[in-house]
A and B are shown apart, each in its own frame.
Chain A
């Protein structure tokens, strides 16, 4: 590549945030604007989830979308101590790492494509494409979709079965919606999940998150980070809890249970 092919900008750019400089000190901001809205005014008038939606989507979320977003956040708040992301943070906590490392450690473990944040992006693509191809579902079309295992993300089995908790969450969230037409992705996934019950597969946590994100206007790439944000509280709380305990508070696999196959 020739040097002239790279033209580095002189300034960083953003369409999200504007800081109005202080007249006396240009390093200080007098006011900050998120997508055009004064942050001081936002905190006085809007909920956290309306503003979180604004940050990622560029516009304030309508009330019913913010409500569904918040319900998803509660569902994802703590994936539980057996989830690899939470468990990684707990191991970091009990192993006496620096407290600030606990959350990032869990988020790294939870970033993967097998049930982690990366799968949410893949699930968004899966739902979008499948919904376009099969807007009306039937036993036959569901069969076609399930057979294409290369594209199937955010959906399947957990420990060989339907994920009971993910199923409870999608039912609770979907049943709370007054106008399902406002949530076309979640509606499609809900139906797909119903049709798939006999096959022993169903919605998984990344798939549920993907459908809600699509309905509130989050793009697939951004969905990865938003998922990480929403699973953070449980990772942090469970990891911090362990940090108060002695290093012996967690099992250490003994020699007999460590099978070394040379």
Chain B
């Protein structure tokens, strides 16, 4: 090796160490023997002993939540994936059905659509949990919800807090069942959930805003020791079930383009009037 190469090898040594090799602490498949997930044997320690949701959270985070906590999160997922093709991600899945794509196309497109800062439970969980963490710190320091509200951007003189407003209707039908299932599973309301409910009461009194499914679940996950980034991982495909249903609903129309067909005039054109192309 020339002296020039010897001198420059340090620059790419980092990549050289990883060349043709995978180093992982997450898991490994030992063909014909077993699979290890975050240090547990899949076949002797996990399968038949934990739920799929527990395993999913374990794979994402390395944390093995209790069965009750994972069961509650499953309820939350049921509340994140309605089979109603008006919802944005489901509308995309329905269009995929109408176009005759595969179900995997539809669910992938729906998951991407729901990777939104406005709805969907994946990215919104991360945003909402980060807010709750900051809000709790401010509340502990200042003992005032007024100071907590200052953390949030304002719109129409109302604080915009992820998890404390719902983009269709104020009453969130999921809150009652969530509380009922927590009680049935023997789960206590933790520090974050109690704080979130108190924030909701304050927001309702002052701005007619209230906690929604996302805010409730965000607080619950923080109480389980899940970080915002981990929640984004866990809930990355939470809308899949409803999306597949809406896809299937539109797969077998007698003609193409049967899902919400649009006439030319159903699109409002707001651009430049017709003009000649210059030569």
Binding site for B on A (CB under 8 A): 1-3, 5-6, 9, 11-22, 26-29, 33, 35-38, 41-42, 45-46, 58, 60, 98, 100-101, 104, 108, 159-161, 200, 251, 253, 255, 257-262
Contacts and interface: CB of A to CB of B under 8 A. Distances in A.
B116 to A, nearest CB: 15
Contact of A260 (B24, B262, B267): B24
Contacts, number: 133
A57 to B, nearest CB: 13
Contact of B264 (A6, A9, A26): A26
B238 to A, nearest CB: 18
Contacts of A257: 20-22
Interface stretch (B143-151, B189-197, B220-228, B270-278): B270-278
17 contacts: A5-B158, A13-B269, A15-B269, A18-B274, A19-B264, A28-B264, A35-B272, A37-B276, A45-B277, A101-B105, A160-B11, A160-B12, A160-B14, A253-B21, A258-B22, A258-B28, A262-B36
Contacts of B24: 258-261
A25 to B, nearest CB: 9
Contacts of A26: 263-265
A9 to B, nearest CB: 8
Nearest to B13: A160
B23 A14 contact: no
A225 B205 CA distance: 43
Given A1-B170, A26-B263, A262-B36, A12 B268 contact: yes
B107 to A, nearest CB: 12
A58 B270 CA distance: 12
Interface of B: 8, 10-12, 14-15, 20-25, 27-28, 30-31, 36, 39, 101-102, 104-105, 108, 112, 156, 158, 165-170, 208-209, 261-279
B166 A1 contact: yes
B156 A5 contact: yes
A227 B269 CA distance: 27
Contact of B11 (A12, A46, A104, A159): A159
A14 B267 contact: yes
Contact of A1 (B23, B209, B265, B267): B209
Nearest to B269: A18
Contacts of B10: 160
Contact of A11 (B36, B39, B268, B271): B268
A159 B277 contact: no
A261 B23 CA distance: 7
Nearest to A256: B21
Given A60-B278, A262-B25, A159 B12 contact: yes
Contacts of A14: 267-271
Contacts of A161: 8, 11-12
Nearest to B209: A1
Contact of B108 (A15, A33, A104): A104
Nearest to A30: B264
A58 B271 CA distance: 9
Contacts of B101: 100
A250 to B, nearest CB: 13
A257 B262 CA distance: 55
